[in-house]
Amino acid sequence: MKIDSICCIGAGYVGGPTMAVIAQKCPNIKVTVVDLNEARIAAWNDADFDKLPVYEPGLADVVKEARGRNLFFSTDVDKAIDEAQMIFISVNTPTKTYGAGKGMAADLKYIELCARQIARIAKSDKIVVEKSTLPVRTAEAIKSILDNTGNGVNFQILSNPEFLAEGTAVQDLHNPDRVLIGGNDAEAIQSLVDVYGNWVPKERILTTNVWSSELSKLTANAFLAQRVSSINAISELCEKTEADVSEVAKAIGMDSRIGSKFLKASVGFGGSCFQKDILNLVYIAKSYGLHEVADYWEQVVIMNDHQKHRFAKNIVRTLYNTVSGKKIAMLGWAFKKDTNDTRESAAINVAQDLLNEEAKVAVYDPKVEPAQIQFDLGEQFEGVTIENNPYETCKNAHAVAILTEWDEFVTYDWQKIYDGMLKPAFVFDGRNILDKQKMKAIGFIYNAVGSSN
Ligand code: NAD
Ligand code: UGA
């Protein structure tokens, strides 16, 4: 089937950018992205491209090029399903917060709702593509719902997990390491291969069976997160032994079998997916009785929790064992640079720990809205101030903590920040982005992750 109309259910961090790029690269395919969230769809349609709901470098230009030509954002889900030959499901699959598997398993209720809606509306054959990250064998459940509640039309299910990282989404979509398509039906697979073939070289489009594709996505995130936890585990040892984690990372990364990426020690990984996907993997392993497999992967999350809390504890210990009533300036709230996404950001845990110790927390982030910070902290937000200027944020602070590796933090006038702070002035660099020697020369007591002072 040659595809000329696509619908994507879910206009979030994956659905929005992914479909914008498909529309940009395939001008002959009509791409409609739908969502129940009216405010989100309105923002995708906003005349002011600075107001798109997802901040990603380069995204506004892609949307500018395609929107209104062959890219549309709408809340009319039924109509978009009816008109499309191929339907991507890009809805959220968060960790369950209730019932069996609470705190571990993926909550598939949004996926099931989509499947039922597609079954109800579809009056012609459809290819349904799993774009969301899903537990292995979910395609089976989707197929069962579609076939049992549908109108007798033919459904093919493909798995096409997304590997983009936030902050580099457009770059990743334009030039992916690989596109993975899992399926059982050669014709359906070919239809999707042809869509990506408009800009992705053939040798980077990998086809597998559905289950391998579903499981590869969870596995990829587990491996990436595991690298971060591994280097973070070593960072604690470095702090005790006068080894320097950046030097260790460089030394091991030069071994081509290990490779240099994803070896930056940090305050801990965040983002909506690493923890959720590992917990999901752990849950699946447990459900098959594979307890050693489950424990092995769970340790990646346990180590990450330890790293986040350790960072806050270190601040308290270094500030003479009390931060009560002291102003601590936090630079960065997003879970990584170049995104406005704060889901599972380490900054949230660190702020919570400091607020529990009665610190006065001041936050500055170049892209995160104050309302989001308020949402993330709930009632604890009472103890927080937000400035729109980093120098004000740091003024009269006992300590500055760097939580996100935004490039602009490196370029600040750190002498000016030092002059405005209480003395001794402490810096806790949770991303190792500042120059230790320069900071010390200014007079800061500088603490990095994974090296001794
Ligand atoms: P998101 O929360 O940003 O977006 C999901 C959207 O789906 C929301 O806007 C929600 O309103 C909408 N939605 C939910 N149910 C709906 C329904 N029945 N009908 C219409 N709209 C509905 O989530 P996201 O970050 O885009 O992630 C989506 C999926 O992609 C998840 O499974 C995630 O694991 C996976 N993923 C995310 C990333 C990432 O970088 N964020 C990367 C790769 C994969
Ligand atoms: C990650 C994966 O990289 C994507 O391939 C995947 O598609 C996505 O999850 C997903 O499924 O959602 P993302 O979470 O957007 O992407 O960003 P990453 O660059 O992976 O960073 C995740 C976290 O790890 C961030 O908090 C980052 O600061 C931290 N990190 C990363 C480190 O602390 N050290 C590193 O060396 C690398």
Which residue in the list 8, 26, 238, 273 is annotated as catalytic?
273
Q: What is the DSSP letter of 96?
A: P
pLDDT per residue as tens digits for the range 295-334: 999 999 999 999 999 999 999 999 999 999 999 999 999 9
CA diameter of the chain: 74
The confidence score (pLDDT) of residue 94 equals 96
56, 74, 90, 343, best to mutate for ligand 1 pocket (most atoms within 8 Å of CB)? 90
Ligand 2 atom closest to 336 (CA): 28
87, 91, 110, 213, best to mutate for ligand 1 pocket (most atoms within 8 Å of CB)? 91
Ligand 2 atom closest to 277 (CA): 11
The confidence score (pLDDT) of residue 452 equals 87
Ligand nearest to the CA of 108: 1
Q: How far is the CA of 61 from the centre of ligand 1 (A)?
A: 22
The confidence score (pLDDT) of residue 274 equals 98
Residue 91: partners with Cβ closer than 8 Å, 6 or more residues away: 9, 10, 12, 15, 110, 111, 114, 132
- Round to whole Å and give the CA distance between 301 and 268: 10
Q: How far is the CA of 378 from the centre of ligand 2 (A)?
A: 25
The confidence score (pLDDT) of residue 388 equals 86
CB neighbourhood size of 241 (10 A) = 9
At 225, phi and psi to the nearest 5?
-65, -35
Cis before 17 (ω within 30): no
Ligand nearest to the CA of 117: 1
The confidence score (pLDDT) of residue 383 equals 86
Ligand nearest to the CA of 44: 1
Strand 399-402 relative to strand 327-331, pairing: parallel
User: Does the active-site annotation cover 273?
Assistant: yes
194: nearest Cα among 431, 3, 416, 56: 3
Task: Write out residues with Cβ below 6 Å of ligand 1.
Answer: 9-15, 34-37, 40, 77, 90-93, 110, 113-114, 132-133, 162, 164, 166, 272-273
Nearest CA to ligand 1 atom 41: 13
Ligand 2 atom closest to 261 (CA): 36
- E strand intervals along 10-143: 30-34, 71-74, 86-89, 126-130
Q: How far is the CA of 268 from the centre of ligand 2 (A)?
A: 10
* Residues in the chain where the model's pLDDT stays below 70: none
Ligand 2 atom closest to 345 (CA): 26
182: nearest Cα among 142, 221, 129, 133: 129
- Round to whole Å and give the CA distance between 199 and 172: 12
The confidence score (pLDDT) of residue 387 equals 87
- pTM given for the model: 0.97
The confidence score (pLDDT) of residue 439 equals 98
CB neighbourhood size of 429 (10 A) = 24
- Round to whole Å and give the CA distance between 78 and 295: 43
Residue 430: partners with Cβ closer than 8 Å, 6 or more residues away: 266, 267, 311, 346, 350, 401, 402, 403, 449
Task: Write out residues with Cβ below 6 Å of ligand 2.
Answer: 133, 162-166, 221, 224, 228, 262-264, 266, 269-271, 273-274, 335-336
- Concatenate the DSSP letters of all residues of 340-395 into one string: ---TT-HHHHHHHHHHHTT-EEEEE-SS--HHHHHHHHGGGGGGEEE-SSHHHHHT
Residue 160: partners with Cβ closer than 8 Å, 6 or more residues away: 88, 129, 130, 131, 179, 180, 181, 182, 192, 213
- Round to whole Å and give the CA distance between 413 and 394: 12
